[in-house]
Amino acid sequence: MVPRIIKLFILSLTAGIYFSLASCYYDNGDTIYPKGPNDCDTSSITFSADILPIIQDNCISCHNHVSFLGSVNLEGYNNVAVYANNGLLVGSIRHYAGFRPMPDGQPMLDECSIESVEAWVRNGVLNN
């Protein structure tokens, strides 16, 4: 028979190990609570910090002065502003009926990127 003191020692040791391991558990908030459609901050969109990277990552490889696919050049603010002001930019990335869906043959851009472009257009297509 095991003395009572040893049983208490083993029980407290087991509980200590359990609670110490449980306290080390860590979750990334973005993994547990991924950003939803309402988590996109479009309050201070600028061309240089927000719009240009979207264009460079998704559009410029086909729509530049060399490739010029679809007779569209999106290099630089002045060229992008033309398509932003005439509605083609938003219509294409939103995949609206009557517009050629862009990026061509690819899934639609993520919602935050689209909302950022829309906010930039809504705010006057500023070169900032």
Q: Are 116 and 55 in contact (CB under 8 A)?
A: no
SS3 call for 101 = coil
pTM of the model: 0.71
Cα 83 from Cα 36, distance rounded (Å): 28
pLDDT at position 112 over 50: yes
Cα 100 from Cα 108, distance rounded (Å): 12
List the structure tokens of 16: 């200590």
Cα 80 from Cα 74, distance rounded (Å): 5
The residues near 121 (Cβ < 8 Å, ≥ 6 apart) are 84, 85, 89, 90
**Residue 87 vs residue 6, higher pLDDT:** 87
Q: Give the model's pLDDT for residue 36.
A: 56
SS3 call for 3 = coil
Q: Give the model's pLDDT for residue 101.
A: 97
SS3 call for 116 = helix
Q: Give the model's pLDDT for residue 12.
A: 73
pLDDT at position 13 over 80: no
pLDDT at position 21 over 70: no
Element (H, E) at 55: helix 52-58
**Residue 109 vs residue 29, higher pLDDT:** 109
Nearest to 104 by CA among 45, 63, 44: 63
Q: What is the mean pLDDT of residues 94-115?
A: 97
Q: What is the mean pLDDT of residues 54-81?
A: 96
